[in-house]
Structures are given as C-alpha cells and as structure tokens.
Amino acid sequence: MTRKPVRQSPRLVPESVTEPPAQRALVSAPDRSAPIPSAGEAHPHAALDRGAMASLARLTAGLSPHAMIDAWSDWAMHLSRAPGRQMELLERAQADWLKLMQYSIARLKDPTAAKPFHPGPYDTRWSHAGWDKVPFTHWQQGFLAVQDWWHTATSGLRGLRLQNAQRTGFMMRQLLDTVSPSNFPLGNPEIIEKTRQTGGKNLMEGAAHFIDDALHVLAQEHRPVPDEFALGRVLASTKGTVVYRNDLMELIQYSPSTDKVRAEPVLIVPAWIMKYYILDLSPENSFIRWLVGQGYTVFCISWCNPGADQADLSLEDYRKQGILQALEVINAIVPGQKVHANGYCLGGTLLAIAAAAMARDQDDRLASVTLMAAQVDFAEAGELLIFLDESQVAFLEDMMWAQGYLDRPQMSGAFAAIRSEDLIWSRAVRRYYLDEPDLPTDMAIWVSDTTRMPARMHSEYLRGIFLENRITAGRFAVEGRVIALKDIDVPMFVVGTETDHIAPWRSTYKTALFTNCDLTFVLTKGGHNGGILSEPGHPNRHYRIGRRAPASHYIGPDGWLAATEPKPGSWWTEWSDWLSAHSGDLVPPPAMGAAEAGFPPAEPAPGVYVLQT
C-alpha cells in the first residue's frame, strides 16, 4: 500500500518556453525556487560558506545577525540626520518623566490615582493587586514609560524601511523584557507574597522546574503526550480508519455517526507545520467529530513528521502526493461524487494552489473550497514579516541545508517571541518563581507537539510564497505553467479570526480580491487557533458573515467590517448550512476504504504519523 512520492519540484516556467525574452523575464526572473543543493553539488567554497553560516545559525537560534545589524544601522543613520525627530524624542522623554513625577505626587494624596502608562492587551505580567502598591507601582510605571519612549523612537521615520523600524522596535521590546521588574523576585510583589506564604518552597520547586526544562532543551528531547491526553483515546479520538499511506501522509476516513450522509465527502487539509489533531482535540471541541455528526463523510490528511532523509521533499510533493493523491483515494471510495475541500492555515494555502491548478487543467473534482485562517497573499502577513528578508531566508536555508530540516525549537521560538511578554516571560515567572506548573490542556499539548519542516519545501515556501508573494503576483507555476486564483470557479468559504497574528484577517480577506467565484467570508472572534475552534455552545463567541456574488465589485476589509454586524454564536453552524446548500441528497454511508481499488482499511485512527516525534 506504500507509494513512494515522486520528487518533482514546481518550476517557474517549462524548459520549452518560447516567449520573447522580456515576457519570459517577467514570469521567471529571478528564479530562486531551485532546490537547495547538497554539499556534493555545490562548489567547495560555497559549501564552506554555508557550513559556516549553519554553525552560526545554531548559536543564534536561526536569527540572522546580519539582518539585525542592518536594521539598527538603518535606524541609527536615519535618526542621526533627523534633528526634528531628535527634538521630538527629547520632548517625549521630558513628557514621560513629568507624567511619572505627577503620578508619584498624586499617589501621596490618593492611592487610587490613575496610572499614566498601561500595558498592552497581551501583557498579563501586571495583573496582581500588588502592582498598585508602593514601591511596585512606581517600578512598573517607570518600566512602561521606557517602553513607551522606545516605541516612539522606533516608529516610522522618513526614509527608514518599515521592516527595519518594526525590527528595531521588536528587538528593543525583547531587550527591555529581560529587565522588567516583574522578572525579579525582589521586584515582583506576587513572588514576594508567594515566597512569604511558602517559606521559600516556591523558589526551590521553581529551580527544579528550571533545571528540568534546561536539560530537555539541551538534549533536544521531545516531551511525550501525558497519559490523560493520550492520542487516540482523549485527543484525536474520533473513530476512523487509515485508508491510505505513503511516505508523506496518511489519509484517515472517519466512521459515520448518522444513518445517512451527504452524497459529497469532505477532505480536510491541515497545515504541515503542526499535527492535524488541532481539528480533532477533545471530544467537546473536535471540529472533525462535530462535522461527522452533521452527516458528512469526512477524510483528513495526517502529514508525516519528516527527518533529514526527507530533506528533498518539495511543495509539489505535498500537492501531488498529498492533496491530489487523497482525492484519488476518495474518488475510489466515494465514486462519482465531487469533494468539498477544507484547508487550514498553510494547508489552506496549498489547497488554493491545488484548486487553481485543477481549475486551469479542467479538473472538476472539487465541489467547494473552504479556507480557514489561510492566506493566499502575503503582502500583509502580520508580525511574521518582521523576521523575513533575503538575509534571514538565506540564513535559514543554510541551517536547513546542514541538518535537512527546520527543527521544532527553531520554528516555535519565532511564534513565541511575537507574544514574548505572555508566552515567555509570564510563563517563566509562573513556573520558576511561583511554582505554578503548566496546567496541561488539549490546546497546550498540541502546541508543544511540533513537527519539522523539510529543507527544500520550507525554502520554496519562504521564498516563493512568503517573501516573493508569487501566488497573487502571477508568478507561481505548477508543472511549468503559472496558476491564477481567479480560475477557481467553485464556491469558496473563507474564515478569518479577529486577533490572528499569524494570518491576520485583513490578509485572509484579500482572497476576495484575487478571485471571481461565489465567496462567503466569515470573521470570527478569537486568534489563529482559538477562533477556528469555536464550537457551538462556546461562551462569549460572535462572528460576522457576508457573501460576495460572482464578478461583484471588490469591497475593502474596513468597508466590509463597517457594513457587517456581528452575530452571537459559532461560525460552525453557518458553515454547515453553507455546506448543505452546496451538497446533494442524503445517502447511505460509503464503505470504509476500497479494498477492490487497492485502498483497504489499514489501522484505526489516528494512525502512526501523528505519533512520530
């Protein structure tokens, strides 16, 4: 049953292209999507350079020092020739100092005097009541005042590249966070109170937590899933069967829970950057379990966790041996029916590419396309853009060239740094000073169960899709021919989440700008993961929904937001209604697998790939 993927990478233009040079250059230059050469293929001097950069990358956790130096140099040179901005910053420092003095004087008369500086929405370090008492309130306000000044200093400056302004601001926030009074036992009232209550036991236990974490980091050990969240029994527990497996993915068919199902099956394409069971967490919030309960035959791809021997896997492998192979299997199990395809995060980006190529090639096997927190245009890709430029991508490529993949800590660290005040520092204080162990939750277990990225595929993604934004620029080719999203003519359902810092909703909304099909857009409360897992009955949830008819005029995201009223509840029910409207009659459930076609049931879900570490 195992089928080896065909190693065929997408080219920008076919070798037989005969366009005039100018037209050809528009499509193909510069060609940076070539596979990363192995050490044997590269010139010895080039291999030496890449090896040196790879060694440096291990010391910097994959962050390019050249990019950081460039950002600070750009900022310093532009600030040095801007006397007006220098005066503005001097006045800002004076104003902030006066606010602190006025607050200190006001505190002498009124302990409830309003604070002049406030933390950001994700900064939970100051929630303890002790921060309202002297002297801690003054230390807090002093720290926030410095943050405020540096935010102004690294904001837009005429002539300064926006990315460099954002980078300097980001790096300064990271540096300031290391000296925050909340990080020190004698500067944090919550730590002092806990130490007094426990007689110092919290510090001793916290030190043990720190040593344990440090040993795991140094050994690069992957913590196993706790028994109370065992995969297949608690998480990823929706009943199903693996009906196909190749080197790249397993295809899971879920067992029906209703007497009849919709004629058209559903294929879920998750992101390969994490494991698929974000969509099949605990039974009460499992998207897949809920969908099966709505009367659909559901299939889901479970990607492998690639190792160094799979460094040459390409985006084309993921398209052909992933999505297209899954469709072939589904067509054998449910013959004669089109498929509703649903892609989450990067899985949605890949699905959009596959759908555009299928439309171009007159392949009509799709009934609809749903994209959940997935981008097709990366011009406004949020805070992750801070990390990426030519220097940074080349740095990561050299590191992946040496080890064959992008490793888990190197990837997850970037996501955590974006919300460092909450995901790094607050967690460290709770775990190492307050002796509050990380309470396991289904989401936390999934977040820590990270995967690796194949070197070739991740390079193609970072360069061609993210950095050069080729999909919507008309420069991304599949099998030698450029694809266009406007070729997709099946109905689309696109979901964005309000506080998504990985796929900002205004970026996901731009799917409407590059397509002409019938499109429904939903904006739901929550972030990249929590907003998607918005099961019916989840408290305090709302969403907005609107439809764009085929060939209608484009309405920008802000105009759409102003014109669309929020509705209470879960967007899942809206999607179910939409899916039903684009589906056929109810029929008896299909058999599990198709042994006669070479796809017999293999083993129970969740399969073996989800267990790879």
The residues assigned a catalytic role are 345
- Other CB atoms within a 10 A radius of the CB of residue 185 amount to 15
Q: Which two tokens stand for residue 383?
A: 């805070």
Q: Which two tokens stand for residue 242?
A: 């693996």
- Residue type present at position 49: D
Compute φ and ψ for 353, nearest 5 degrees: -60, -50
According to DSSP, the residues that pair with 254 across neighbouring strands are 240
Consecutive H or E run containing 339: strand 339-344
407-437 burial code (b ≥16 CB/10 A, e <16)? bbebbbebbebbbbbbbebbebbbbbbbbbe
Pairwise CA distance, residues 122 & 458, whole Å: 29
Pairwise CA distance, residues 99 & 96, whole Å: 5
Decide: 379 and 469 in contact? Cβ < 8 Å.
Answer: yes
Pairwise CA distance, residues 396 & 405, whole Å: 10
- Beta-strand pair 249-254/298-303: antiparallel
- Other CB atoms within a 10 A radius of the CB of residue 440 amount to 13
- Beta-strand pair 603-604/481-482: unpaired
Task: Go through the chain and tell me how many residues it has.
Answer: 613
CB-count burial class (<10 Å; 0-12, 13-18, 19+) for 529: buried
Instruction: Please count the helices (runs of H) and the strands (runs of E) in the chain.
Output: 22, 17
Pairwise CA distance, residues 350 & 369, whole Å: 12
Pairwise CA distance, residues 481 & 609, whole Å: 33
Following CA atoms 424, 421, 377, 495 in sequence, which dihedral angle do they give, to the nearest 10 degrees?
90
Decide: 201 and 435 in contact? Cβ < 8 Å.
Answer: yes
28-60 burial code (b ≥16 CB/10 A, e <16)? beeebbebbeeeeeeeeeebeebeebbebbeee
DSSP secondary structure letter of residue 181: G
What are the Cα distances from residue 331, in Å, to 299, 353, 479, 595? Answer: 11, 20, 23, 13
Alpha carbons within 13 angstroms on the beta-carbon side of residue 136 total: 22
Question: What sign results for the dihedral spanned by CA atoms 135, 137, 138, 143?
Answer: positive
